[in-house]
């Protein structure tokens, strides 16, 4: 079994078309087809059901696909690791983070990393913790900043706690003050308030909704379904209030009123995660060090 054969197999599986797959991997279509047939002979099973205009995976193909993607991702990581020069003049880091961390935590750290290692390519993937954990597991990311506890236990990942961040309530300065104008409010004070809520799968959505239910009420949504920038924009427009990380509120404070929550309040724990079975590439380890020492 050759890496090239797995690459061709994944291309066909993703395009569901031999000619388009050949274009993706820059090879003649007959050569691609021959390599796929050779792979099927070696495995002793057909990987595709071939019908005119309709290419689908067999059960064997479905079983091979996630493994092939992981093998190719690991091979790609190894290739970049070997190509890195002694003083990190070349390489890449694939970092996943939730959108709020991309807004609050990462800009300063990434700027410092880029100033020190300008030749390292930074590839940032935004997503919820569930999606980032899945991408780490299949080798599509080197590191990820995730919110603990993880959506599902994953013994294949190593996590190191990075910080514990308070959440605050943001509202428009032109709207009424939450909690009757007190300097700090309780979660219970959000009952009856119109909230701007993040999309499903967003860590902050689950945390806020759970906190409201723990106080015995269902939150009332004025708008829901946005990412961080959209939520902050809707709050500035006076559509409602939102619960966001303190770092995000501090960076995006213009046009926002920030009200802390009464202790113990709400907080979230941020961790740095990577696969346990594969050491991150050298450049990723350096970024990991800078994040942990921030």
Q: Looking at the predicted structure, is the pLDDT value of residue 128 above 90?
A: no
What is the DSSP code string of 181-215? G-SSB-GGGGTT-EEEEEPTT-HHHHHHHHHHHHT
Domain housing 123: 82-163+270-293
228: domain CATH number is: 3.40.190.10
Which among 128, 133, 135 is positioned nearest to 100, based on CA atoms?
128
Instruction: Return the pLDDT at 270.
Output: 92
> Among 14, 35, 64, which residue terminates a domain?
64
34: domain CATH number is: 1.10.10.10
Q: Do 23 and 92 have their domain in common? A: no
**131/201 Cα distance (integer angstroms):** 9
Q: Looking at the predicted structure, is the pLDDT value of residue 35 above 70?
A: yes
Secondary structure of 251-289 in HEC code, one letter for each residue:
HCCCCCEEEEECCCCCEEEEEEEEECCCCCCHHHHHHHH
Strand partners, 91: 120
Mean pLDDT of 167-176: 94
> Is 71 within a domain?
no
Q: Do 257 and 215 have their domain in common? A: yes
- Lowest-confidence pick of 68-72, 151-155, 178-182, 273-277: 151-155
Q: Do 191 and 226 have their domain in common? A: yes
> Is 133 within a domain?
yes
Instruction: Return the pLDDT at 258.
Output: 94
Q: Could you tell me the pLDDT band of residue 153, with boundaries at 50, 70 and 90? A: low
Q: Could you tell me the pLDDT band of residue 149, with boundaries at 50, 70 and 90? A: confident
Q: Do 16 and 27 have their domain in common? A: yes
Q: Do 18 and 113 have their domain in common? A: no
**54 vs 13 pLDDT, higher one:** 13
Give the total number of structural domains in the chain.
Answer: 3
Q: Considering the entire predicted model, what is its pTM? A: 0.64
**7/159 Cα distance (integer angstroms):** 31
Mean pLDDT of 196-219: 91
Q: Do 150 and 189 have their domain in common? A: no
Place of tokens 């079983």: 63
Q: Do 50 and 116 have their domain in common? A: no
Core vs surface per residue 251-270: b (16+ CB within 10 A) or e = ebeeebbebebeeebbebeb
**233/252 Cα distance (integer angstroms):** 10
Report residue 58: phi and psi, to 5°.
-80, 175
**166/93 Cα distance (integer angstroms):** 28
**181 vs 90 pLDDT, higher one:** 181
Q: Could you tell me the pLDDT band of residue 152, with boundaries at 50, 70 and 90? A: low
Report residue 243: phi and psi, to 5°.
-100, 120
């Amino acid at each position: 079994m050759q890496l090239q054969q797995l690459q061709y197999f994944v291309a066909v599986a993703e395009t569901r078309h031999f000619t388009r797959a050949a274009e993706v991997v820059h090879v003649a279509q007959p050569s691609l087809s021959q390599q796929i047939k050779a792979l099927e002979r070696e495995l002793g099973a057909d990987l595709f059901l071939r019908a005119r205009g309709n290419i689908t995976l067999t059960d064997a193909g479905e079983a091979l696909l996630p493994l092939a993607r992981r093998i190719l991702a690991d091979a790609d990581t190894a290739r970049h690791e070997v190509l890195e020069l002694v003083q990190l003049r070349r390489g890449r880091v694939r970092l996943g983070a939730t959108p709020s961390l991309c807004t609050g935590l990462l800009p300063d750290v990434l700027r410092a990393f880029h100033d020190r290692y300008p030749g390292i390519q930074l590839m940032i993937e935004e997503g919820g913790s569930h999606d980032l954990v899945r991408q780490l597991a299949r080798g599509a990311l080197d590191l990820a900043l995730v919110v603990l506890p993880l959506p599902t236990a994953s013994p294949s990942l190593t996590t190191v706690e990075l910080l514990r961040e308070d959440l605050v309530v943001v509202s428009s300065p032109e709207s009424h003050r939450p909690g009757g104008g007190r300097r700090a409010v309780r979660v219970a004070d959000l009952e009856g308030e119109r909230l701007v809520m993040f999309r499903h799968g967003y860590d902050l959505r689950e945390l806020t909704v759970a906190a409201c239910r723990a106080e015995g009420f269902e939150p009332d949504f004025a708008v829901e379904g946005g990412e961080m920038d959209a939520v902050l924009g809707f709050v500035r427009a006076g559509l409602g209030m939102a619960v966001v990380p303190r770092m995000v509120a501090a960076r995006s404070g213009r046009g926002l009123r920030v009200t802390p929550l009464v202790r113990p309040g709400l907080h979230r724990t941020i961790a740095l995660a990577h696969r346990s079975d594969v050491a991150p590439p050298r450049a990723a380890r350096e970024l990991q060090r800078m994040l942990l020492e921030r």
